[in-house]
Chain A
Amino acid sequence: MTCNFDAVHSFTIQDIHILLDINSGIVHSLSRMAWDFYQEWEKAGGDAPRAIEALAKTYDPKELQEIHRQFESLREEGMLFSRDDSLAGYELPEDTLIKALCLHVAHDCNLRCAYCFADTGSFGGKRGLMDADTGKRAIDFLFEVSGPRKHIEVDYFGGEPLLNFAVVRELIQYGRAKAQACGKELKQTLTTNAVLLDAEKSDFLNAHGVQLILSLDGRPQVHDRMRPATGGQGSYERVRAGIREYLSRPNSAGYFIRGTYTRYNPDFCEDVRHLVEQGFLNLSLEPVVAPAGVGYALTEEDLPQIFEEYEKLAELLYAYGQTGQEVNFFHYNISLDKGPCLPKRLSGCGAGHEYLAVSPEGDLYPCHQFVGQEEYKIGHVSTGVRNFSIGREFRRAHVFNKPQCRGCWARFLCSGGCHANACSLNRNILEPYRIGCAIQQKRLECALYLQVRKMAGEQDNPAI
Chain B
Amino acid sequence: MSQGVHIKTINKEVLTQTMKNGGCGECVTSCQSACKTSCTVSNQSCLKK
Contacts and interface: CB of A to CB of B under 8 A. Distances in A.
Interface of A: 23-31, 33-34, 63, 66-67, 70-71, 74, 78-79, 82, 84, 86-87, 93, 96-97, 99-100, 102, 117-118, 149-151, 153, 155, 157, 187, 191, 213, 256, 258, 260, 284, 286-289, 330-331, 333-345, 348-351, 354-355, 367-369, 412-421, 440, 443-444, 447, 451-452, 455, 461-464
Contacts of B28: 100, 151, 153, 187
A414 B7 contact: no
Contact of B12 (A63, A82, A87, A337): A337
Contacts of A418: 31-34, 38
B27 to A, nearest CB: 6
A66 B22 contact: no
Contacts of A24: 14-16
Interface residues of B, number: 45
B25 A369 contact: no
Contacts, number: 229
Nearest to B21: A341
Given A97-B25, A339-B44, A463-B8, A349 B1 contact: no
B30 A335 contact: no
17 contacts: A25-B13, A30-B7, A33-B6, A34-B6, A118-B35, A336-B11, A339-B13, A340-B22, A340-B41, A341-B21, A342-B16, A342-B18, A344-B27, A368-B33, A413-B41, A463-B5, A463-B6
A452 B10 contact: yes
B37 A213 contact: yes
B26 A74 contact: no
Given A30-B6, A99-B29, A348-B30, A256 B13 contact: no
Contact of A451 (B10, B44, B46): B10
A354 B17 CA distance: 24
A94 to B, nearest CB: 13
Most chain B Cβ neighbours within 10 Å, of A33, A102, A415, A440? A415
Contacts of A27: 9-11
B44 A67 contact: no
A27 B13 CA distance: 10
Nearest to A37: B6
Contacts of A213: 36-37
A338 B45 contact: yes
A412 B33 contact: no
A452 B9 CA distance: 10
Given A345-B41, A413-B42, A70 B16 contact: no
A17 to B, nearest CB: 10
